[in-house]
Amino acid sequence: MMGRILAADWLKIRGKGLWLLILVGPLGLTAMQALNFGLRFDYMKRRYAGDLWGGLLDNTALFVPMALFLGGTLVCSLMANIEHQTSAWKQLLALPVSRIAVFASKLMLCLLLLAVSCLLLSGFVTALGLLFGFGASAIPVYGILRIGFLSCAAVMPFIALQLWLSLAFRNQAMPVSIGVICAIVSPFTATLSEWLPINWPYLAWTGPHRLYFAGAGLALALLVLLPGAAHFARKDVN
């Protein structure tokens, strides 16, 4: 049954622009670094002479949290809006399926789309480094995968909250506003406490306790998902 619900949700997002969004995010981040390094290549090459790949990854990582906050918001909102705009909730929830299964299907599809985006980011950054001649033998495979996936794990509490709000409210103004605000302020909160969840996506990349922040993100996401799923299961959806 869960597979059928997921397959139905997969069909619903076709032609809705979600896949374009998943592509635009990592492509935009890579294009920013192409300009950043391309316009001052000699300077950047001298500055990161000891670790060119590390310099590229560090510069990219500065903007990954912002992209995750904004991208996660749009993915959750657009996915939920398909049901809200077509008034399909009553028909969907009248079927012999549990609301928890419907909620879980939306969550799994959202996570799949974000995982594809993170994988594309790793591929695009690798291609950019090779294009700049950083050397294939020195590719930091773990670092390239970590730049997207660990930060994505750390941002999971935010994704869980966004999915909850997007599914619960027909008007998407509140969840989208929260997402945009988090994306805008995230670069300026690094000097605040490391225990603020908004800082975890970047701390999952830098610092001595990267895995702790990724794990904390997954744990807090579970705590957010439980009341979110329970609320969705009880709420009257039009």
| Domain span including residue 106 | 2-234
CB-based contacts of 104-108 (< 8 A; 24+ apart in sequence): 104/2, 104/229, 105/2, 105/5, 105/6, 105/8, 105/9, 106/9, 106/79, 106/80, 106/163, 106/167, 107/160, 107/163, 107/225, 108/6
Give mean pLDDT, residues 97-116.
90
Residue 11: per-residue pLDDT: 77
Dist CA 81 CA 68 (whole Å): 19
- Residue 68's pLDDT band, with cuts at 50, 70 and 90, is very high
Dist CA 114 CA 65 (whole Å): 13
Helix H segments across the chain? 2-12, 18-39, 41-47, 52-61, 64-85, 89-94, 99-131, 141-154, 156-168, 173-185, 200-203, 210-234
Taken as a whole, the chain contains a residue count of 238
Total domain count, the chain = 1
The string of pLDDT tens digits covering residues 5-57 is 777 778 778 777 788 889 999 999 999 999 999 999 899 999 998 889 999 99
Give mean pLDDT, residues 146-153.
92
The larger pLDDT score, comparing residue 102 to residue 70, is at 70
Rounded to two decimals, what is the model's pTM?
Answer: 0.91
| pLDDT(238) > 70 | no
| Residue 42 burial (C-beta neighbours within 10 Å; 0-12, 13-18, 19+) | exposed
pLDDT exceeding 70 applies to what percent of the chain? Answer: 96
